[in-house]
Structure formats: structure tokens, C-alpha cells
Amino acid sequence: MSDTLKKSVLERLSRIKGPDLEGDIVSLGLVSDVFVSDGRVAFSITVPAERAQELEALRQAAEKVVLELDGVETAMVALTAERAPGSPASRPAAPRPAQGGMASRGAPPSSGGNPGTPGEKPGQKAGVPGVKRIIAVASGKGGVGKSTTTANLALGLKANGLRVGVLDADIYGPSIPRLFNVHGRPEPVSGRIMKPLEGYGVKVMSMGFLVEEETPMIWRGPMVISALTQMLREVAWGELDVLVVDMPPGTGDAQLTMAQQVPLAGSVIVSTPQDLALIDARKGLNMFRRVDVPVLGIVENMSYFVCPDCGSRHDIFGHGGARAEAEKLGVPFLGEVPLTMRIRETSDSGEPVVVSDPDGPHATIYKDIARKMLAEVDRLEADTGRSAPRIVIE
């Protein structure tokens, strides 16, 4: 079915003339990253960088003809502008999200991109309506337990009486739906705005709700950035004290764009104790510093293992490396989380330890880290005279 729909999509797109009305966008090789899954279609159109604004009408036309197809519920179309090697640029600029968004049947036409707000200063990061603070949880590499840490920290904040949401920004490997045991499709609220799902009292949005778990996301940077922008700004989050963002691992385009485009109150770096992981954690920390996002601290995950039979402690990945690194780099050390069967089992079952054993020792660790994290945000805001990011109503 998806192959048939993909052929129909390309056939419809072949009716759209190219930027100079010569040929069509398919035969000219401008259409790429075509993704079809369960009624959802996404693709990008490559255009000259200097003509991106001018060709927004072309993007809208492509979106419209695809939505007219039977079996298509939503369409996400991004304009991808690729600058030729060696071409001049007036000044180094922060990467901008690819123009576009997700349209559904019956939704009003897209205006493309994020139009901003009257009175908003150029270069100012637009906030998310209703969200007081946005905190990123990041790691320099995958496999260090970042998503598990994100889920339990969010639930720790919830346990401390805050209104919390989680944005799963790990497009290629979304884990948050499984961790929160939340399944289903986000419902449209009005026009392009979607309603987030909810697990354990926490509002959740993830690409995992929009595609099947086994479906690979074979997307280039512009499509990933467009999807992240959509999930952040086209979701009815409501009133939240904190939105926790589970960042993709590494320091690529998606991470840099989130750091530069979103008014982050701070970031938390997750690492294991061994030297190799700490090297990558240092890169992630330095990325946030370079874009003026405060680092709230480092969490040492899988810090040690206590044998359930004999009670003896084993430092499988070494121990104390993250604490020493935090001291060396001058950032807070938020705490150490042990390597235990309990955390692994509850994560796999979709019942994170903070909710499945709220008074247990491991839940206490996560709640304590969450308190320290929030206290560091308060301290930084008091020191700099800043309040939480200004909320921009769009």
C-alpha cells in the first residue's frame, strides 16, 4: 500500500512546474526524502538558497496536490535550500528550520515557516505558548541512558508538584512512547495544531506517535529540523512549568538548531563514567556553551552496580568520572544513578521507576537530581536577572 501511495505522490508532484516553469519538480530531481507511512506523507523540495522565500508558493502547491490523494491524511513538505560549495555568505548564520509544516485534510493552507510575532525583535528566540521553561537533556553519544534519564527526571519534576511535558526530539530513535507506555495518534485541535498524548500526568509528543515503531526514519537534516519545529510549535502544550526535551545524541544539525532556535533555560548532560563517554559528553557541553545555553549540570548514569545477591558494589564502567569532569569544567554535578535491573525492567515495561516505586531509593535519586536541576535554573536566573523565557503568543 505504501509503495502504491508513494508512486501516486510522485505522479501528482510531477504536475508541479519547476522554479522557472521549465520541467517539473520530480523530473528535475528536486524532490527527495519521500516518506510514506499509514496515511502520512513527508518529503523535501530542493531550491536555491536565495530563492527560498520566493518559492514558498511552490511548496504550498506541492502540499495541496498530495493532500488531494485518497489515503493521505497529513503531508509535511519542507523547502531544502542547499548553498553551492564556495558560494559567498554575508555572515555566518544560525541554521534555520526548513520552511514548511504538517498540513492535514481540512486544515488552512500553510504560510510556511514560523511567521513570528508582531513586535518580536529580529533574532529573538520565539517561546512556546504556555511553557515557562524548556530544559534539554542531552548526551554526546547514544547508549548512555539519556531517554531513561529524561523520563524519570520529568516524572521527578511532576512528583515535585510541577506541570510537565516531554518532547521526544530523538527523531531517529524515539524511546519516549515506550518509556511512558503511551500509544496512539495525536488528535488535531484546530488547523495544524495537535494535541499531545499523556502518560502518568505528563504531556508527551514524539515522532514515535506518527510512524510505526519499526519504520526507519531515513531523513536528511532539513526534514529532521522541520519535524522538530512542528512537534515543538504546532502542539497544544497548555500551561506547563517545564518542558523537558529529550535531545538526539551527538552534536549535529538538529541539536545545534534546537539550541540556537529555542529559548532553553538550560541543558543537562548525561554520561557514563568511562573516559570514552566523557569525551563525547564534553563535546555536547561545549556545544551548548558556544550558543550561550547554560549547562545546569552533569548526571553520571550507570555509575555503579550493586549485586542483588551479595550486596557488593562493582564499578563496571569506572566511577566518579562525571563528577571529576564536572569539577574540571566548572559545572554542577547533579548526581549518580546506579546500574540496576530495577531501572532497566521498569523502563522496558513502560513504568519508569519514579512512578512504579515512588518511595524507593532509585526514585529518590531521580527526584533529588530534578530538584537540583531546577534549583540551578533558579540560581542562574537570579544571577543574570533573567526570568524564564518570554512566552510569545503566535
CA–CA gap between residue 5 and residue 3 (Å, rounded) = 5
Question: Residues 12-41: what's their mean pLDDT?
Answer: 85
Query: pLDDT by residue (tens digit) across 311-339?
Result: 777 776 667 777 888 888 888 999 988 88
Query: Above 60 in pLDDT, residue 125?
Result: yes
Predicted pLDDT of residue 58: 87
Query: Above 80 in pLDDT, residue 225?
Result: no
Predicted pLDDT of residue 255: 75
Query: Above 50 in pLDDT, residue 40?
Result: yes
259 vs 10, 169, 226, 289, 313, CA distance in Å? 35, 12, 15, 10, 38
Predicted pLDDT of residue 287: 82
Predicted pLDDT of residue 92: 34
Residue ranges per structural domain of the chain: 2-104, 131-384
Helix intervals (H) in 268-388: 275-290, 321-329, 341-348, 353-356, 361-384
Query: pLDDT by residue (tens digit) across 265-301?
Result: 999 999 887 655 567 677 777 788 888 889 999 998 8
Of the listed ranges 41-55, 215-229, 368-382, the one predicted with least confidence:
215-229
- Tell me the average pLDDT of the chain: 79
CB 140 within 8 A of CB 280: yes
CB 146 within 8 A of CB 345: no
Identify the three-state secondary structure at position 250.
coil
Q: Which fold has domain 2-104?
A: GMP Synthetase; Chain A, domain 3 (3.30.300)
Q: pLDDT over 70 for what percent of the chain?
A: 78
Q: CATH number of the domain at 131-384, please?
A: 3.40.50.300
Query: Above 50 in pLDDT, residue 389?
Result: no
Task: Return the higher-pLDDT residue of 217 and 23.
Answer: 23
Determine which helix (DSSP H) or strand (DSSP E) holds 283, and give its type and residue range. helix 275-290
Predicted pLDDT of residue 120: 45
Report strand pairing: 240-246 vs 313-314.
unpaired
Determine which helix (DSSP H) or strand (DSSP E) holds 152, and give its type and residue range. helix 146-159
Query: Above 80 in pLDDT, residue 340?
Result: yes
Predicted pLDDT of residue 111: 42
Query: Above 90 in pLDDT, residue 95?
Result: no
